[in-house]
Amino acid sequence: MPGVTHGVGRAPANIALVKYWGKRDEELNLPVTGSLSISLGRLGSAVELKPTGGPTDAVWLNSAPLPLNSAFAKRASAYLDLFRPTPGHWYEVQARNTVPTAAGFASSASGFAALARALDDLYGWGLSTRELSILARLGSGSAARSLEHGFVEWQAGSEPDGMDCFAERVAAEWPALRVGALVLCSDEKPIGSREGMKRSVETCGFYREWPGRVAEDLALLKRAIAEKDFAALGAVAEANALAMHALMAATRPPIVYALPETVAAMRAVWAAREEGLGLWFTMDAGPNVKLLFDAQDEAAVRARFPAVQVVAPFA
Ligand code: PMV
């Protein structure tokens, strides 16, 4: 569009309560199953995008230029390849994460969702949230869930072109819901989710059980959300995360993200629950643990986990 020189976009990070693990199409990031997440309010990414003269893309993260061979810059450039009006049309990408990098929340989902919004703004496409979810998904599967706040359900869809594979907001507010990040290790993970889930689909003997399990868990989670039943929400989220980690462990060669500290945190959650505290956890493809609890229990949770970083998703 004449006169338009830059585009901006923002998006929240999200954490899945019923997980996505496995694709039916590697290129389009089409998942085998649906999934359902909670967005993390103000924690997320902001992206500013400008066409530049080149000779390459320039990618900045939190005001620092990134080497073009860094993982983030390579993924951003590969994603932008899908949208260049002509080959050799370069962009400057200024990305800012409001997810503290050490908080253990994935920033790739919010990063690609914010980049999709920035492209839409730059080119004046005026895309719907559903269309933006489809575009963000091409960068990272879980980015499909980062276009909305609150609870978000990503539909697996069945069309080969993925046009029915997008995420939408679940109509529910839950102001007392809290997510707590326990950062146990911030080293780079041994295997990324793209490679890990591919390996699980190909080699995990009981991957075939997973779609049925997810369908049941999605139904339970949606009922828990509709009825504001926190114990039911916590129970299904924790069980689903453990089932995903069991799939990972049964992959060949095995994928185990948990460290001794992860197992200790899980046991501490179970001990707290034995004593009557309403506390559950979830975990993604890494060793860090995310706690799920109600605002009324925040002091008790902080007493047990002094290093916890608390997020209020509906604040
Ligand atoms: O979107 P990806 O490729 O980063 O995969 C995300 C996978 C999990 O975080 C483990 C689960 C999920 O649903 O977010």
CB of 193 sitting under 6 A from ligand 1:
yes
Task: Please write the tens of the pLDDT for every residue from 5-45.
Answer: 899 999 999 999 999 999 999 999 999 999 999 999 989 99
Task: Please write the tens of the pLDDT for every residue from 62-100.
Answer: 999 999 898 889 999 999 999 999 989 999 999 999 876
Kindly report whether the peptide bond that precedes residue 160 is cis, defined as omega within 30 degrees of 0: no
Q: How far is the CA of 50 from the centre of ligand 1 (A)?
A: 28
Residue closest by Cα to atom 8 of ligand 1 = 284
Picking from 292, 158, 277, the residue whose alpha carbon sits closest to that of residue 224 is: 292
Q: How far is CA 169 from CA 36, 131, 231, 264, in A?
A: 9, 14, 22, 34
pTM of the model: 0.96
For residue 280 the two structure tokens come to 């559950």
Which ligand 1 atom lies nearest to the CA of residue 194? 3
Picking from 87, 277, 291, 255, the residue whose alpha carbon sits closest to that of residue 183 is: 291
For residue 75 the two structure tokens come to 């993924």
Pocket test for ligand 1, best of 188, 193, 221, 255 (most atoms within 8 A of CB): 193
For residues 74 and 72, what is the distance between their CA atoms, to the nearest angstrom? 5
Picking from 283, 301, 150, 153, the residue whose alpha carbon sits closest to that of residue 214 is: 153
Task: Please write the tens of the pLDDT for every residue from 251-301.
Answer: 999 999 999 999 999 999 999 999 999 999 999 999 999 999 999 999 999
Pocket test for ligand 1, best of 15, 20, 29, 191 (most atoms within 8 A of CB): 20
CB of 29 sitting under 6 A from ligand 1:
no
Picking from 87, 90, 146, the residue whose alpha carbon sits closest to that of residue 117 is: 146
For residues 170 and 168, what is the distance between their CA atoms, to the nearest angstrom? 6
CB 210 within 8 A of CB 33: yes
